[in-house]
Amino acid sequence: MPLKLSLKPGERFVLNGAVVQNGDRRGVLILQNKASVLREKDIMQEEEVTSPARRIYFPVMMMYLDEAGAEKYHEEFVRRLSEFMGVIQNPDVLSECVAISRHTMAREYYKALMLSRKLIDYEDARLGNAG
């Protein structure tokens, strides 16, 4: 199934490891085959990894963007997810953590990444971060 990306002027995204930027007008791309695509808003820089949930998100993002090198990020992911689950008591959040782990084990990194984003939202809400 093709993936349709609607891009804002100047919007950046990563496509199979290459940073691509849209021109000065809205644009639409249709990807006909499987590719690792991540919009600018979903890309986290290493210096932004400042909380437990972000320490989960970052290695999942790296596994998604560098699937061939995913093994080197997996151990960090497992350690950070275990730490997070060790202090969380909310059963819904724990269930999401289990789902993230399952998706990661199945190499469904994009699905794991989107669920990891929910952990960041939960954490921000609990800590009172404005977003």
Cβ pair 17, 69 in contact under 8 A: no
Q: Answer yes or no: do 19 and 77 share one domain.
A: no
Q: Answer yes or no: do 10 and 72 share one domain.
A: no
Q: Answer yes or no: do 55 and 116 share one domain.
A: yes
What is the model's pTM?
A: 0.88
Average pLDDT of the chain, as a whole number: 92
Q: Answer yes or no: do 101 and 79 share one domain.
A: yes
Res 130 pLDDT > 60: no
Res 67 pLDDT > 90: no
User: What is the reported pLDDT for 108?
Assistant: 95
Whole-angstrom distance, CA of residue 66 vs CA of residue 84:
24
